[in-house]
Amino acid sequence: MPPAVGEGSARSELRPRRGRCGHQVTRAVGPDVAAAAAARSPKRPARGSRRFEAAGRWALLALVTLLSFATRFHRLDEPPHICWDETHFGKMGSYYINRTFFFDVHPPLGKMLIGLAGYLSGYDGTFLFQKPGDKYEHHNYMGMRGFCAFLGSLLVPFAYLIVLELSKSLPAALLTAALLTFDTGCLTLSQYILLDPILMFFIMAAMLSMVKYNSCANRPFSAPWWFWLSLTGINLAGALGVKFVGLFIILQVGWNTISDLWHLLGDLSLSVVTVGKHLTARILCLIVLPLTLYTATYAVHFRVLNKSGPGDGFFSSAFQARLSGNNLHNASIPEHLAYGSVITVKNLRMAIGYLHSHRHLYPEGIGARQQQVTTYLHKDYNNLWIIKKHNTNADPLDPSFPVEFVRHGDIIRLEHKETSRNLHSHYHEAPLTRKHYQVTGYGINGTGDSNDFWRIEVVNRRFGNRIRVLRSRIRLIHLVTGCVLGSSGKVLPKWGWEQLEVTCTPYLKETLNSIWNVEDHINPKLPNISLDVLQPSFPEILLESHMVMIRGNNGLKPKDNEFTSKPWHWPINYQGLRFSGINDTDFRVYLLGNPVVWWLNLLSIALYLLLGSIIAVAVQRGARLPAEVEGLSQVLLQGGGQLLLGWMLHYFPFFLMGRILYFHHYFPAMLFSSMLTGILWDTLLRLCAWSLASSSLARGVYVVGLLSLLLGTAYSFYLFHPLAYGMVGPLAQDPRSPMAGLKWLESWDF
Amino acid sequence: MLGFLKRPVVVTADINLNVVALTAVGLLSRLWQLAYPRAVVFDEVYYGQYISFYMKRIFFLDGSGPPFGHMLLALGGYLGGFDGNFLWNRIGAEYSSNVPVWSLRLLPALTGALSVPMAYQILLELGFSHCAAMGAALLMLIENALITQSRLMLLESVLIFFNLLAVLSYLKFSNSQKQRPFSLSWWFWLMLTGVACSCAVGVKYVGVFTYLLVLAVASVHAWHLIGDRTLSHGGLARITQGQPLEVAYGSQVTLKNVFGKPVPCWLHSHQSTYPMIYENGRGSSHQQQVTCYPFKDVNNWWIVKDPGRHQLVVGSPPRPVRHGDVVQLVHGMTTRFLNTHDVAAPLSPHSQEVSCYVDYNISMPSQNLWRLDIVNRESDADVWKTILSEVRLVHVNTSVALKLSGAHLPDWGFRQLEVVGEKVSRGYHESMVWNVEEHRYGKSQEQKERELELHSPAQMDVSRNLSFMARFLELQWRMLTVKSDGSEHKYSSSPLDWVTLDTSIAYWLHPRTSAQIHLLGNVVIWASASLATVVYALLFLWYLLRRRRSIRDLPEDSWLRWVLAGALCAGGWAVNYLPFFMMEKTLFLYHYLPALTFQILLLPAVLQHISDHLCRSPPLRSLFSALVVAWYSCACHVFITLRPLTYGDKSLSPSELKALRWKDSWDILIRKY
């Protein structure tokens, strides 16, 4: 029996020990591992042919890359009109070129890169990207599509390299590359102006650099080690900067790092100081560096977008003052509130919006049937209110009256300008927050009752008793019930147009929800004064925009009766997405995975779980595996395990998400699943070959199995390629259609 | 066969008066004035409808939960003779005379009361002291929210009862796994675990979380069991079968020499002593002979004893013997200690004589401490295992190991084989290595009883089934169907409010006076329970990291106990709390009570741990105990202060009520006159 220590370290070693920085260390590894690694390559290379073999590897990589680029760039310009979400992301690219501020639920990096690609390729940002199907005509869209296709093409060589690094097996890598190259779904998704190819690029790049860095683990703090570690960090920042689902790859790298550190910590030959150094290096490269880069993308974002645009209302008054063209930019408005002023009132909590009312009543059974009062994020005439005295209805703007300023503690009425109803509250339950009271619009032409009276209070009373625009933080206290006007931040159902609930809360606790400021202010009797609004600091802007984005993401709830894609549909390729065209005369593109590839992936996951648990139980029972099987099972459990984790992390969280989901959300998970398939089948065939003792037969089984997988995939791509490259002519039901006989599932509509 | 004719039939009952007392006060606190208030209180209005349906045997479809809980409540109505005629339409409505309020509320109250002694039992089974266990039970006793919830016709206390029962019976099962797998009690507790889990799920769907937790812990245990090579290794398994695996202090063992040459034999001793003078003229100690005997014999039995304690029985829980521990070996039939000293062995004069010490009161002290050295250990914390462990017994004073020399003793030694003490420094040889072949946990303190025990054959069990996982295949995944209705109830709250007790529920208000029932927790307990969870998490992380660097702050068994307590109690809290963040249904404070129960169980465990392991000096320990007592009286004080709102039996003045409104968000109702 070998000494326990040696065996323990060999077994606990997580990473296969070869590759770029592992060369000289192979010798140091126990003979078992080396033998196993040698046994893995199909034939043992003679010394002289090593250079030849290296050249072969490079050639293979080049071939894979070339094929990937060829398939992705083939007919990239078709169709020459807006497809699906190009309408959003193309538009946002244009916003960057035009430097107008907008709001989107995703972080800015992806759209910035699209904008940059457009800018460099000579697109001038003048195309409106109004709706899918609009022709591009003379506008140059190829730069943006080409950029996305370029990143999309790189996914295949990345997957190839990852599998090669994890399994040390060229056939496994080749199989993975074939699966991805010949998948119509990945192909389609890479050909348009979308965030997905950019996101997937960063995810795969992060995975690749993580795997590479793992194989450098035996030479810590060397140059390649630092290089791959910081590259991992950079790619993580990229992934998170494109979409928040980049978080999943961060979790994966985080998990890998924690288990890595755990092993280092348990290695008693390393001093605590060395472990500390390892920890610091990882904090620097995997936390500090990505955060800095991520923040930097926002800095660029805010610097580039300096003109007022459609996204202003989502942000606080102070923020808007930064945007040229916004009415708060270099604002010049009356400073102190007076009776008769027309104002907009904005909630101080981020992403709540303006106090709003409209000509719709609360529905039957929800409090009193009076006009709704909500908060609304967009700028709108219905956000305007007039401040009036509680006891007179005379028009204070009558020039015969002197100007009377509103003061702290005054009792006022707020009249909704468009509908002439007063802000009102009473002892009825609020629609969602039942502990609070309902707030309504009440009265006719400004005449209501005593429930319309509010006491205005300034919270930060440093500037005397007057109420200042933008700066004064005010609370409105209902006179009769003693409650405070606030917004709960909850989204009203359909009857409330999905605006946010406004309530009157009987709990007088001071929270931002019940504090407001006056933003717009119109009063012809008062002189306009130029205001230098307190400029918010960068961290404040950053925080605010994240709050707004999270709120926006939560707001993307599926509407009633709308067909939504469910996560369980995805791996079985249940239903695709129409990118372009519906009728038989249209040029149709349909996002659907190559069913052969996808179903093979599904089968492989099941097989993997089966095989993996058999091996795990055998190892736990202490079975001694033959050297060959031992090596294969290491690859399967460790390399395959990482990929399985990746698949799970990129797939299962969607089951918990309340927001609206689409088929294309599955594609990052699909990449991991395909890599797992590559490793699994390679291992499985090798195991089959090993169990058939006779060597010629064994070789035959292996080669035939692998070739049939490769050719099968390629053939299925030949069958399904019109899905991606476009179909014209009758739909698939028609026997004359190019897709006739290929509609294997009723739910596919092409 | 007819053993009962020869010996009298004896019933020995161990009655733990603690449990009896706890049950009594538990019943008192939950059953006192149970029929008051005679009015519909809060959710009784909701469960009442279903009970009426059951009573009238009207079929109904209920999307809100499983039927078992409703059926249990209906059982109370059935026993109380309820005819189902009551209109459940309004909270606060007075019950008509045909409603047997007491028997309707009895079941929740009973389950609530029994949770108190169960908390005690769980802590004991987790391996904590009686003191900590009492603490847990007393905390359960004075937790206002638990009392309120169990005194009414509601289901939470029933759910909590089954949750605790599941955990308790799993612990009992897993503890008997170590001692006597496949015994009757092993099966009983295993079954009870399953029954309790299914009842919990049957009462409320959220019971599934505790079930999953128990399953997870069981899977981890089973995974270790799979890795446990003792089980089912062909011939070996047949011998280990039915014997306890881990040798503990108080274990009765036979020790077989691994080398087994010239013949396989067992360490043996008997009444005869070494002759005073050998034939060649050398002298001996004249103490009791220790030999190696090639036949099974009652004199082959030895008892493993902890030098620090007097007992010769296995404690509860058994304290396993680990590598490196110092033990004494007591010969079962003669109660003499295995001993060696600097006297030449009879046939191998270069080695030491091994004897069973007889105190002749001459200046030859006993030297009977042996250090256990498990040769084939995987880690330094390995437990001495039956059959599997190959051990050397190294004498502490002289560093010799117990060895079979292989020579046959002359007639005075009955031709048995010589056993000597050989210097460890002379190198390793299999003749120094022994293993435990037969093993049972000693039960009799009395020498006569023990002799009887030793004469009885070692435990052998019937054939065993190897499929550990088979029993888990009965798993039936039931999806939680959660109804989402976007609206909120007046007293609904969000999970974040629960930990800090930022919310309360007004259950009932007396129609005339301001007597009222509120669901309000004991703030001291809530705060300290959350604090204990945090402390546990931090300490756990700290120990974990240090263990990774091979710094063992805790002895192995306390570490395992600490981990298991955390897995079940902190884990129980987490699985019963965190999922609520995902749920979109209307949530109330009472949803937190199952989680709180687990947190309360963790609290005394953490306190005992701090006292045992972190308070190093005795004065510090007494100071800590004093603090704990002060803290507990504080909790009692809060309990008494909030008592009127818990039982609703006393009408308070508005100023008193205002004084009780410790948080703005507590909706205590104050009448305006």
Comparing B275 with A351, which gets the higher pLDDT? B275
Q: Is A624 on the interface with B (CB under 8 A)?
A: no
User: CA distances (Å), B176 to each of A202, B243, B456, in order?
Assistant: 53, 12, 21
- Residues of A in Cβ contact (< 8 Å) with B489: 434
CA closest to A428 among chain B residues: B490
Which of A265, A269, A492 would best serve as a mutation to test chain B binding (most B beta carbons within 10 A)?
A265
The DSSP secondary structure of A217-244, one letter per residue, reads TTSTTSHHHHHHHHHHHHHHHHHHHH-G
Output the six-digit token pair for A294.
């991520």
Question: In which residue are the tokens 């009879």 written?
Answer: B346
Per-residue pLDDT at A209 exceeds 60 = yes
Q: Supply the pLDDT for residue A557.
A: 66
Q: Contact B664/A509, CB-based, under 8 Å?
A: yes
Per-residue pLDDT at A5 exceeds 60 = no
The predicted model gives A404-424 an average pLDDT of 89
pLDDT class of B672 with cuts at 50, 70, 90: low
Q: Supply the pLDDT for residue A41.
A: 44
Q: Supply the pLDDT for residue A140.
A: 87
Residues above pLDDT 90, as percent of chain B? 35
Q: Contact A433/B489, CB-based, under 8 Å?
A: no
The predicted model gives B333-353 an average pLDDT of 88
CA closest to B666 among chain A residues: A507
pLDDT class of A560 with cuts at 50, 70, 90: low
Comparing B2 with A536, which gets the higher pLDDT? A536
pLDDT class of A181 with cuts at 50, 70, 90: very high
Which of A436, A511, A557, A620 would best serve as a mutation to test chain B binding (most B beta carbons within 10 A)?
A620
Distance of CA B196 to the CA centre of its chain: 17
Q: Supply the pLDDT for residue A229.
A: 94
Å between A103 CA and nearest CA of chain B: 27
Q: Is A568 on the interface with B (CB under 8 A)?
A: no
Q: Supply the pLDDT for residue A562.
A: 57
Q: Supply the pLDDT for residue A7.
A: 37
- Residues of A in Cβ contact (< 8 Å) with B223: 620
User: In a 10 Å sphere around its CB, with 0-12 CB exposed, 13-18 middle and 19+ buried, how is residue B293 labelled?
Assistant: buried
Q: Supply the pLDDT for residue B145.
A: 94
The predicted model gives A642-647 an average pLDDT of 95
Q: Contact B487/A4, CB-based, under 8 Å?
A: no
Render pLDDT for B406-465 as a digit per residue (tens, 0 to 9). Answer: 888 888 888 888 999 988 777 778 888 898 888 888 777 777 777 777 776 554 333 333
Average pLDDT of chain A, as a whole number: 84
How far is it, in rounded angstroms, from Cα B515 to Cα B509?
Answer: 6
pLDDT class of B12 with cuts at 50, 70, 90: confident
Q: Is A621 on the interface with B (CB under 8 A)?
A: yes
Q: Which of A152-161, A211-220, A443-452, B205-214 shows the lowest mean pLDDT across its residues?
A: A443-452
The predicted model gives A665-675 an average pLDDT of 95
Determine the Cα angle at B22 with ends B21 and B28, to 5°.
90
Q: Write the CB contacts of B441 (distance below 8 Å, at least 6 apart in sequence).
A: B179, B244, B248, B250, B251, B252, B313, B314, B318
The predicted model gives A5-13 an average pLDDT of 37
ipTM over 0.85: no
Q: Is A655 on the interface with B (CB under 8 A)?
A: no
Which of B226, B589, B661, B667 would best serve as a mutation to test chain A binding (most A beta carbons within 10 A)?
B226
pLDDT class of A558 with cuts at 50, 70, 90: low
The predicted model gives A639-660 an average pLDDT of 90
Q: Is A622 on the interface with B (CB under 8 A)?
A: yes
| Residue A518 · residue A470 · CB < 8 Å | yes
Q: Which of B548, B584, B665 sits opposite A265 (nearest CB)?
A: B548
- Residues of A in Cβ contact (< 8 Å) with B487: 431-432, 434
Report CA torsion sign: A387, A393, A399, A403: negative
Q: Contact B229/A621, CB-based, under 8 Å?
A: yes
- Residues of B in Cβ contact (< 8 Å) with A268: 549-550
Q: Supply the pLDDT for residue A61.
A: 94
Amino acid at A294: Y
The predicted model gives A417-432 an average pLDDT of 88
Per-residue pLDDT at A138 exceeds 80 = yes
Q: Supply the pLDDT for residue B62.
A: 59
Q: Supply the pLDDT for residue B235.
A: 38
Per-residue pLDDT at B475 exceeds 60 = no
The model's pTM is 0.73
Comparing A333 with B102, which gets the higher pLDDT? B102
- Residues of A in Cβ contact (< 8 Å) with B226: 617, 620-621
The DSSP secondary structure of B590-656, one letter per residue, reads GGGHHHHHHHHHHHHHHHHHIIIII--SHHHHHHHHHHHHHHHHHHHHHHHHHHHHHH--SPPPHHH
pLDDT class of B485 with cuts at 50, 70, 90: very low
Bridge-partner residues for B505, per DSSP? B519
- Residues of B in Cβ contact (< 8 Å) with A620: 223, 226-227
Chain B residues contacting A via beta carbons under 8 Å: 223, 226-227, 229, 378, 486-492, 545, 548-550, 582, 584, 664-665, 667
Q: Supply the pLDDT for residue A42.
A: 45
| Residue A103 · residue A310 · CB < 8 Å | yes
- Which H or E run includes A265? helix A247-266
User: In a 10 Å sphere around its CB, with 0-12 CB exposed, 13-18 middle and 19+ buried, how is residue A49 labelled?
Assistant: exposed
Residues above pLDDT 70, as percent of chain A? 89
Comparing A658 with A184, which gets the higher pLDDT? A184
How far is it, in rounded angstroms, from Cα B532 to Cα B606?
Answer: 6
Output the six-digit token pair for A408.
């702290």
Question: In which residue are the tokens 């006007």 written?
Answer: A485
Which is it for strands B301-305 and B251-257: parallel, antiparallel or unpaired?
antiparallel
Q: Supply the pLDDT for residue B119.
A: 95
User: CA distances (Å), B656 to each of A133, A518, B650, B660, B670, in order?
Assistant: 72, 42, 11, 6, 10
**CA-closest candidate to residue B373, choices B399, B354, B348, B355:** B399
How far is it, in rounded angstroms, from Cα A203 to Cα A194?
Answer: 15
User: CA distances (Å), A11 to each of A15, A29, A179, A633, A641, in order?
Assistant: 10, 11, 32, 12, 15
The predicted model gives A456-469 an average pLDDT of 79
Per-residue pLDDT at A153 exceeds 80 = yes
Å between B295 CA and nearest CA of chain A: 32
Range picked from A309-313, A728-732, B31-35, B53-57 for highest mean pLDDT: B31-35
Per-residue pLDDT at A76 exceeds 60 = yes
Q: Which of B548, B584, B667 sits opposite A266 (nearest CB)?
A: B548
CA closest to B494 among chain A residues: A433
Render pLDDT for A607-638 as a digit per residue (tens, 0 to 9). Answer: 999 999 998 888 888 777 788 888 888 889 99
The predicted model gives A435-439 an average pLDDT of 86
Render pLDDT for B180-233 as a digit per residue (tens, 0 to 9). Answer: 778 888 899 999 999 999 999 989 888 999 999 999 999 998 888 877 655 554
pLDDT class of A13 with cuts at 50, 70, 90: very low
CA closest to B231 among chain A residues: A621
A-B contacts (CB, under 8 Å): 41
Q: Is A273 on the interface with B (CB under 8 A)?
A: no
Q: Supply the pLDDT for residue B673.
A: 56
Q: Is A4 on the interface with B (CB under 8 A)?
A: yes
Residue B416 sits at φ, ψ, to 5 deg, of -85, 175
The predicted model gives A530-554 an average pLDDT of 76
Per-residue pLDDT at A154 exceeds 50 = yes
Q: Supply the pLDDT for residue A131.
A: 83
Determine the Cα angle at B221 with ends B217 and B226, to 5°.
145
Q: Supply the pLDDT for residue B152.
A: 92
**CA-closest candidate to residue B404, choices B438, B431, B367:** B431
Q: Write the CB contacts of B183 (distance below 8 Å, at least 6 apart in sequence).
A: B176, B242, B461
Which of A434, A501, A657 would best serve as a mutation to test chain B binding (most B beta carbons within 10 A)?
A434
| Residue B625 · residue B631 · CB < 8 Å | no
The predicted model gives A295-302 an average pLDDT of 91
CA closest to B491 among chain A residues: A435
Q: Which of A262, A432, A435 sits opposite B486 (nearest CB)?
A: A432
| Residue B328 · residue B307 · CB < 8 Å | yes
Helix axes of A142-167 and A640-651: crossing angle, nearest 10 degrees: 140
Q: Contact B487/A507, CB-based, under 8 Å?
A: no
Range picked from A452-466, A542-556, A732-746, B496-510 for highest mean pLDDT: B496-510
Q: Contact A4/B229, CB-based, under 8 Å?
A: no
Render pLDDT for A503-515 as a digit per residue (tens, 0 to 9). Answer: 998 776 667 788 8
Å between B378 CA and nearest CA of chain A: 8
Per-residue pLDDT at B471 exceeds 70 = no
Q: Supply the pLDDT for residue A10.
A: 37
Q: Supply the pLDDT for residue A353.
A: 84
Q: Which of A262, A434, A617 sits opposite B226 (nearest CB)?
A: A617
Comparing A38 with A246, which gets the higher pLDDT? A246
pLDDT class of A532 with cuts at 50, 70, 90: low
Q: Which of B226, B545, B582 sits opposite A620 (nearest CB)?
A: B226
Q: Supply the pLDDT for residue B472.
A: 31
pLDDT class of A202 with cuts at 50, 70, 90: very high
pLDDT class of B108 with cuts at 50, 70, 90: very high
User: CA distances (Å), B664 to each of A506, B67, B127, B503, B590, in order?
Assistant: 10, 38, 42, 9, 19
Residues written for chain A: 750
Output the six-digit token pair for A505.
């809360």
- Residues of B in Cβ contact (< 8 Å) with A656: 582
Render pLDDT for A234-289 as a digit per residue (tens, 0 to 9). Answer: 999 999 999 999 999 999 999 999 999 999 998 888 898 999 999 999 999 999 99
How far is it, in rounded angstroms, from Cα A363 to Cα A590?
Answer: 42
User: In a 10 Å sphere around its CB, with 0-12 CB exposed, 13-18 middle and 19+ buried, how is residue B585 labelled?
Assistant: middle
Q: Report the number of secondary-structure helices (H) and strands (E) in chain B.
A: 19, 14
Q: Supply the pLDDT for residue A2.
A: 38
- Establish whether the linkage from the previous residue to A107 is cis, with ω within 30° of 0: no
**CA-closest candidate to residue A641, choices A680, A670, A614, A668:** A680
Q: Which of A433, A493, A620 sits opposite B223 (nearest CB)?
A: A620
Which of B549, B578, B668, B672 would best serve as a mutation to test chain A binding (most A beta carbons within 10 A)?
B549
Q: Which of B229, B488, B548 sits opposite A434 (nearest CB)?
A: B488
In this structure, how many other beta carbons lie within 10 angstroms of the beta carbon of residue B98?
A: 12
The predicted model gives B540-552 an average pLDDT of 90
Q: Contact A4/B378, CB-based, under 8 Å?
A: yes
The predicted model gives B571-589 an average pLDDT of 88
Q: Supply the pLDDT for residue B229.
A: 59
Å between B487 CA and nearest CA of chain A: 5
The predicted model gives A73-84 an average pLDDT of 87
Which of A621, A654, A655, A657 would best serve as a mutation to test chain B binding (most B beta carbons within 10 A)?
A621
How far is it, in rounded angstroms, from Cα A79 to Cα B493?
Answer: 53
Q: Supply the pLDDT for residue A309.
A: 79
Q: Supply the pLDDT for residue B597.
A: 95
Q: Contact A435/B226, CB-based, under 8 Å?
A: no
